[in-house]
Amino acid sequence: MLFLYNLIVRIAGFLLKIIAFYSPKIKLFIEGRKVVFPTLEQKIKPFDKTIWFHAASLGEYEQGLPVIEKIKEKFPLHKIVVTFFSPSGYEVRKNNTAADVTVYLPLDTKKNAQEFLKLVHPDLVFFIKYEYWLNYLSELKNQNTPTYLISGILRENQMFFKWYGGFYRKALDAFTYFFVQNENSKKLLLQLGKTNVAVSGDTRFDRVAAILEKNNALDFIANFKNDTLTIVIGSSWPKDEHLIVDFINSNNYNVKFIIAPHNIKEEQIQQLKNSITRKTILFSEKENAALAEYDVLIINTIGILTKIYSYADIAYVGGGFGNPGVHNILEPATFGVPIVIGPNYSHFAEATALVNLEGCTSVSNKKELDAAFTNLILNEVERQEKGHICSTFVQMNKGATNMIMNTISKFGTH
């Protein structure tokens, strides 16, 4: 079966090179990997001590960031190496300040795994949430490198739990310890005989809780808001925006809207702006503008949405009308903001929990969206109650990072 796995990886690598001619995203995927080994040779010397974190994409990086920061404090002489599998993670965070070296993870061939680990020679390794690359894990096991899964989630439909998944189950032997998000994941690992497991929760709670300690002020947002009730629409997709624009254009309430689309391509931003009948301005047009006179502000840049949520009275988080589903709801939640989302959220434990707690409202159509917004606009008491539920939920679930660090201290490095 391992032979078949390696064959599939090689075939996939070949096909991706062809697809790259037609897909800008896949081209980034291919081109970015061409410079990985030269970059590692340049930035990591044989005598350097290193610690390696692997994140599939942007969400996993954000999830691992609290642990990265604590590890840097504990091991200040080590270089931090961060790898991404996806361009959507690497391209956004390739210039992050948390890591000393940030690169793509080369495709999981035995040769690549051996070369990568030879150049990086990590003392500790962390895989964030998921992605179990068999050749990398096999080499880490052979080299007896302490390897941890953090904020892990396991489900019954994964390969480990299939009758034919023996070679995948064997790969789990590489992990020194599993830090998982919930009891079900622990139960599944125990079924495989893995007792080196603890329910630590989700490190994202630590990350978003720490946001409150930072300076989240944005003067231009304060000027736009102008002490008016404001709805922030974060990470929206066209399916979200279609319903929201209808509400923006038809409502008669004294309310302002800030829209931060997931995709900020100029053509789509202009289409969005043109569809709104209220007085609308783009982030890129804000200089010397009287922002308080506008009803809608569209954020056609990246990197400031978290701070914008601190100004929200109500938040709508996009993605819930598509697959795999809703984007990160914890950032508005930490600021005590009531949240509205689309119907596809069942794959996200924090969204499911907040819907059940009634801090977050799920809507499936225009009628439900209008009702949810109207209720929160008109009912200040309910707005505050739902916001309190959200902020309390974040505070009650933090602490995963400390548990991870305390356990790692017992094992040390090799």
Task: Give residue-wise pLDDT tens across range 36-70.
Answer: 999 999 999 999 999 999 999 988 999 999 999 99
Assess whether 231 and 178 both reside in one domain: no
Q: What is the pLDDT of residue 167?
A: 85
Q: Residue 303: what pLDDT?
A: 87
pTM of the full structure = 0.85
In a domain, 263, yes or no: yes
pLDDT of 165 reads: 86
What per-residue confidence (pLDDT) applies to 194?
96
- Considering 60, 62, 139, 350, which one is annotated as catalytic? 60
Total domain count, the chain: 2
β-strand pairing of 101-104 with 122-128: unpaired
Q: Is the pLDDT of residue 111 over 90?
A: yes
CATH of the domain at 296: 3.40.50.2000
Percent of the chain with pLDDT strictly greater than 70: 99
Cα–Cα distance, 64 to 81 (Å, whole number): 13
Domain annotation covers residue 5: no
In a domain, 114, yes or no: yes
The mean pLDDT value for 82-94 works out to: 93
Q: Give the pairing of strands 280-282 and 360-362.
A: unpaired
Q: Are residues 225 and 320 in the same domain?
A: yes
CB 297 within 8 A of CB 323: no
- Of 310, 300, 315, 311, whose CA–CA distance to 260 is shortest? 300
Buried b (16+ CB within 10 A) or exposed e, 250-278: ebeeebbbbbbbbebeeebbeebbeebee
pLDDT at 350 over 90: yes
The top-scoring range by mean pLDDT among 55-59, 88-92, 99-103, 153-157 is 99-103
Is there a contact between 299 and 283 (Cβ–Cβ < 8 Å)?
yes
* 31 and 179 belong to one structural domain: yes
Cα 218 to Cα 305, 307, 329, distances in angstroms: 11, 7, 21
| Residue 317 structure tokens | 């988080």
pLDDT tens column, 145-172 = 999 999 999 999 898 998 888 888 999 9
Same-domain check for residues 229 and 324? yes
**CB-based burial, 299-327: b 16+ in 10 Å, e otherwise:** bbeeeebbbbbbbbbbbbbbbbbeeebbb
Which tokens sit at 267? 């053509």
Query: Are 234 and 332 a contacting pair, CB within 8 Å?
Result: yes
Regarding whether 383 and 403 lie in a shared domain, the answer is: no
- Does pLDDT of 411 surpass 70? no
**Which pLDDT value is given to residue 412?**
58
Question: What percent of the chain clears pLDDT 90, i.e. is strictly above it?
Answer: 86
Work out the pLDDT band at 399, boundaries 50, 70, 90: very high
| pLDDT digit string, tens, across residues 186-208 | 999 999 999 999 999 999 999 99
pLDDT at 395: 97
| pLDDT value for 414 | 56
Do 382 and 408 fall within a single domain?
no
Does residue 369 share a domain with residue 235?
A: yes
Q: Please, what sign has the CA dihedral across residues 350, 356, 359, 360?
A: positive
Amino acid at 192: L
Is 60 in the active site? Answer: yes
* Residue 3 or 142, more confident: 142
pLDDT exceeds cutoff 90 at 321: yes
Question: Which domain covers residue 236, as residue numbers?
Answer: 216-397
Q: How confident is the model at residue 139 (pLDDT cuts 50, 70, 90)?
A: very high
Give the Cα separation of 62 and 204 in Å (integer). 7
Residue 140, domain CATH: 3.40.50.11720
Q: Flag whether pLDDT at 356 surpasses 60.
A: yes
For 66-97, letters b (16+ CB in 10 Å) and e give bbbbbbbeebeebbbbbbbbbbbbbebbeeee
Confidence check: pLDDT of 71 > 70? yes
Residue 359 — very low, low, confident or very high, per pLDDT cuts 50/70/90?
A: very high
Region 280-291 average pLDDT: 96
In whole numbers, what is the pLDDT of the chain averaged over residues?
A: 94
d(CA 196, CA 189): 9
Same domain, residue pair 196 and 269: no
Considering the domain architecture, whether residues 102 and 46 belong to the same structural domain is answered as yes
Amino acid of residue 158: Q
Domain identity same for 56 and 158: yes
Residue 298 and residue 169 share a domain: no
- The mean per-residue pLDDT over the stretch 331-356 comes to 96
Convert the pLDDT of each residue in 209-251 to its tens digit: 999 999 999 999 999 999 999 999 999 999 999 999 999 999 9
In-domain check, residue 209: no
Q: What is the mean pLDDT of residues 75-81?
A: 97
pLDDT of residue 413: 58
Q: Is the pLDDT of residue 105 over 70?
A: yes
Q: Are residues 161 and 269 located together in one domain of the fold?
A: no
Please give the structure tokens belonging to residue 84: 């991404």
Q: What is the pLDDT of residues 252-274, one digit of tens each?
A: 999 999 999 999 999 999 999 99
